[in-house]
Amino acid sequence: MTERPDTHSKLIGYLLWIFGFLGSHRFYYGKPVTGTIWFFTLGLLFIGWIIDLFLIPAMDREADLRFREGEVSYNIGWILLTFLGVFGIHRMYMGKWITGIIYLFTGGLFLIGVLYDFWTLNNQISIRNEERRFG
């Protein structure tokens, strides 16, 4: 039996869960629709947020199976996006220097780009890791 890659960390998931009433942990585990719902309803009025405390291990396993490991770390990418997203540091980390600099001077393209990245960062990293793997 092959060992599955550990693309996402439970520790980072729980760290983001602290801000989970805004949905950040759900975005991290590749669930942008429910992440958006959590954002606009404060974690379904904090009830869903508390339930997620127990659901994080399952979300972590699912994310590990779904996304590709590689040179670009999901954990670092998500920490950079969550705390420094408006400065584009996460984009520079992935090698997207031009858009990173644009984010730096425009506040993450006026926060719309940061929202887009919350929805798509896992897929962006998977694509980047696939490109680097196959050249």
Model pLDDT, residue 36 = 92
> Is a pLDDT exceeding 60 seen at residue 42?
yes
Distance of CA 72 to the CA centre of its chain: 12
Model pLDDT, residue 134 = 75
**Domain spans of the chain?**
8-64, 72-131
Q: Can you tell me the distance from the alpha carbon of 115 to that of 38, in angstroms, rounded to the nearest whole number? A: 14
Model pLDDT, residue 107 = 94
Q: Can you tell me the distance from the alpha carbon of 31 to that of 131, in angstroms, rounded to the nearest whole number? A: 23
Read off the pLDDT of residues 77-124 as tens digits, 9 standing for 90 and up. Answer: 999 999 999 999 999 999 999 999 999 999 999 999 999 999 999 999
> Is a pLDDT exceeding 90 seen at residue 131?
no
